[in-house]
Amino acid sequence: MKHPALTVLALLLAAGPANAITAQKAERAEGRVVITWTDPDPVDVYVAPTADAPLSAATLVAASRRDGRAEYVAPADARPFFLLRDGGDGKVTRVAERALPLQQGSNFRDLGGYPGADGKSVRWGRIYRSGATAMLTDADLMMIKALGLADMVDLRSSEERALAPSRIAGVRYAAVGYTMTSLTLPGAAAPSGDDRMHAVYRRMPELLAPQLRILFQELLEGDGAVAYNCSAGQDRTGFATAMVLSALGVSRETIIADYHLSTTYRRPEFEMPRIDPATAGANPAAAMFAGYQQDPNYKTPRPLYDSQRRALLDVALSEVESRWGSVDAYLDKALGVSPADVAKLRAMYLE
């Protein structure tokens, strides 16, 4: 069954002029990448090795397709980018796989393609979100090296980073130290159920402000692609993504739909090396992750809703609006991302 967030995103991406390429998508299945789209005109499909390759450097995959579908046999260690040329007006639309096809990665995905401000879309291959990267294979590292990452911002606590150091090397790496108990209240003080997760999400705007200042600084410098992560790539990374996409003018509906894709793309077994509960000792983070790993349903991601079907991310966004008045005000006052910075980000990351 297709995840609801994928359906929502397909509907959101379908919005556009009647005679334009819409609802474009690329998904890998059994060694092939299936590219689909909607357009009344015939479409030429090209493949390129990089996100910004011009049409002249791309290779034709399928010509004058009217059925809205093409296939490409993709090597397991490659991440192709596709250019769809409209046979009516000649306009080129780019698309790629949302998630990188990593062997032992979790939730490592591209923010490209989302509709942003002024009728433009987020550039592919420039901003990546991810779960922890401690268990990547050598082949995974080769694929990530090809992304041209210049910076990584690690949103995890000091304990998590010690338990599962990133395997990605050769890029500038930034993190801000804090303890897991800064995010989750331990022991008897901890609320349960919805109250527990709501408390976690309400803490995020303030707790993550130092990391987000660094993230936006790196984005504004624009030296290369930028990646950021937490352990699951869904909660703290989800909030960071909401701020980045908001700055680029992406709609709240699309932001929430992207947030829920974590339930599809997470692979929890590759987010933290196995921890023996007997050796976790007094380390509360190690004990917490060891407990998760003992759950027989550990490998199945839980949907990011509370018991009332409210997206947990909405709790953090409501906290931002309650304390700062709006996301724009939070960007400006809490993160130092001015309106001029927002304009620069849109010029850099939208096309």
**Annotated active-site positions, please?**
230
Longest Cα–Cα distance of the chain, Å, equals: 66
Residue 323's alpha-carbon distances to 265, 314, 333, in angstroms, are: 32, 14, 11
> What sign has the CA pseudo-torsion 56, 61, 63, 64?
negative
Q: How far apart are CA 279 and CA 289, in angstroms?
A: 12
Q: How far apart are CA 76 and CA 127, in angstroms?
A: 22
For residue 112, what are its two tokens?
A: 């490209």
For residue 322, what are its two tokens?
A: 């309650």
The identity of residue 84, as a single letter, is: L
Residue 208 contacts residue 236 (beta carbons within 8 Å): yes
SS3 string, 184-198, reads CCCHHHCCCHHHHHH
How do beta strands 81-86 and 92-96 pair? antiparallel
Of 54, 51, 28, residue with least CA distance to 125 = 51
Q: How far apart are CA 98 and CA 113, in angstroms?
A: 9
Residue 198 contacts residue 315 (beta carbons within 8 Å): yes
